[in-house]
């Protein structure tokens, strides 16, 4: 498993119009399923009259990678997969992209929808601030005082950081 991943900072936005249909893209970093649900809920609250809320997300890396996309009422594979493809093209993880569509009265066809959703997602990521982050895990160790130096040296050699030390008085 890689110890690094790329994600976005803050919320990225994009929008464009195709044959009177408005596409509004929003992307943000997420780390859990709960964060995905919260972000999607916020988007729906901001745009309550939209026709569709299509999205894709990735969480994790390598063996723990979880990817999901949904067409949300659009024709099969016309919205979610192009959004997920944009996430993969930018090599991002722990990110969600929601494309909100306001139907303009003109059918775009499956090819038109694929192009529109994919373009909006790519524009979202092009406007985003992207950074590399490191997966980490907190460890709590209890060692005898004479062994502290050895444990700290071993941690540093493995790329770890000592964040806090707490000493107890022995009886």
User: 55 lies in a domain?
Assistant: yes
Give buried/exposed letters for 79-90 (b at 16+ CB in 10 A, else e): bbbbbbbbbeeb
Q: Which domain does 127 fall in, by range?
A: 4-134
User: 35 lies in a domain?
Assistant: yes
User: 166 lies in a domain?
Assistant: no
How many structural domains does the chain have?
Answer: 1
User: 167 lies in a domain?
Assistant: no
**pLDDT tens track of the chain, all 171 residues?**
567 788 899 999 999 999 999 999 999 999 889 999 999 999 999 999 999 999 999 998 777 889 999 998 899 999 999 999 999 999 999 999 999 999 988 889 999 999 999 999 999 999 999 988 876 667 778 888 888 888 888 878 877 777 777 877 765
pTM, two decimal places: 0.78
User: 110 lies in a domain?
Assistant: yes
């Amino acid at each position: 498993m890689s110890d690094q991943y790329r994600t976005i900072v803050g919320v990225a936005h994009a929008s464009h119009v195709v044959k009177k249909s408005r596409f509004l893209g929003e992307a943000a970093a997420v780390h859990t399923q709960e964060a995905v649900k919260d972000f999607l809920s916020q988007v729906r609250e901001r745009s309550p009259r939209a026709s569709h809320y299509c999205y894709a997300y990735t969480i994790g890396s390598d063996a723990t990678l979880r990817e999901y996309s949904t067409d949300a009422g659009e024709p099969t594979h016309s919205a979610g997969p192009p959004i997920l493809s944009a996430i993969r093209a930018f090599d991002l993880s722990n990110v969600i992209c929601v494309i909100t569509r306001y139907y303009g009265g003109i059918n775009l066809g499956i090819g038109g929808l694929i192009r529109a959703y994919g373009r909006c997602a790519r524009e979202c990521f092009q406007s985003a601030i992207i950074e590399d982050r490191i997966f980490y895990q907190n460890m709590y160790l209890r060692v005898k005082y004479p062994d502290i130096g050895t444990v700290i040296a071993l941690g540093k050699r493995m790329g770890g950081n000592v964040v806090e030390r707490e000493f107890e008085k022995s009886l």
